[in-house]
Amino acid sequence: MVEVRRKVLKENDLLARRLRDRFQSAGTRVISLVSSPGSGKTTLLERLLTDLRQDNRVAALVGDLATENDAARLARSGAAVKQITTGTVCHLDAGMVERALSDWPLEELDYLFIENVGNLVCPSSFDLGEDLRLVLVSTSEGEDKPLKYPTIFNTADVAVITKLDMAEAAGIDMDLLVQNIHGVRPGMPIMKVSARSGRGISELEQFLTSTRADLKAAYVQ
């Protein structure tokens, strides 16, 4: 099992590297989102697509085990959206992304968002060739998620705390959550947003649209 898994991961890494080269030469910035089911990936993405497509050419791939509901929701933003249904597979892989992109001319895209299957474990091992991976954690999930799922925080670039509007009802200790994120991943950039109220959204969008150099600088801080 371990042997087979190692081979699968190695093949994925090679494919992801090829994808990353393609994205770079096409000038497409690729941003992926991972989180538990129900952390608000689709709601946040709907907001980001709607806003960013005012001035940019944006598209999204969205992964789920079943249903095309998310693609339908995201299509309301007016952006091009494609659903990848994975069946029983708990994550996207680079091959699925490559196949989904086969008839999309990347040169015509400034931003490509990839919403992974809702899962805090499986997606961590699979590079999708993205420039930036956001890990979302909602205020209603408790403060301990970074400690219990360290790998997903370690393979992401930015933590986004979602459902800020529910923080009080959830009774979350925000300082402790931030402390736990940094306990697992010191210096990780953290953004706080509410897609419902709009709080923090423009800061996140500014962060995502800043140049690659800026992002790397922010990350080192």
**Applying CB under 8 A, which residues contact a copy of itself?**
1, 4, 8, 36-39, 64-67, 69-70, 88, 90, 117-122, 124-125, 137-138, 140-142, 144-145, 147-151, 163, 165-166, 169-170
Quote the least distance from Cβ 130 to a copy of itself, whole Å: 21
Smaller CB separation from a copy of itself, 41 or 133? 41
- Helices 201-209 and 41-52 sit at what angle, rounded to 10 degrees? 70
Which of 106, 86, 104, 107 lies closest to 95 in space, CA to CA?
Answer: 86
Quote the least distance from Cβ 139 to a copy of itself, whole Å: 9
Smaller CB separation from a copy of itself, 29 or 163? 163
Report the C-alpha gap between 123 and 101 in whole angstroms.
19
Smaller CB separation from a copy of itself, 88 or 211? 88
Based on its alpha-carbon atoms, the radius of gyration of the chain, rounded to whole angstroms, reads 17
Quote the least distance from Cβ 218 to a copy of itself, whole Å: 27
Quote the least distance from Cβ 199 to a copy of itself, whole Å: 15
Report the C-alpha gap between 109 and 28 in whole angstroms.
6
| Alpha helix ranges (H) inside the chain | 2-26, 41-52, 69-75, 94-100, 145-148, 150-154, 167-170, 174-184, 201-209, 212-220
Quote the least distance from Cβ 173 to a copy of itself, whole Å: 14
**Tokens (6 digits) for 175:** 């300082």
Smaller CB separation from a copy of itself, 32 or 39? 39
Smaller CB separation from a copy of itself, 56 or 85? 85
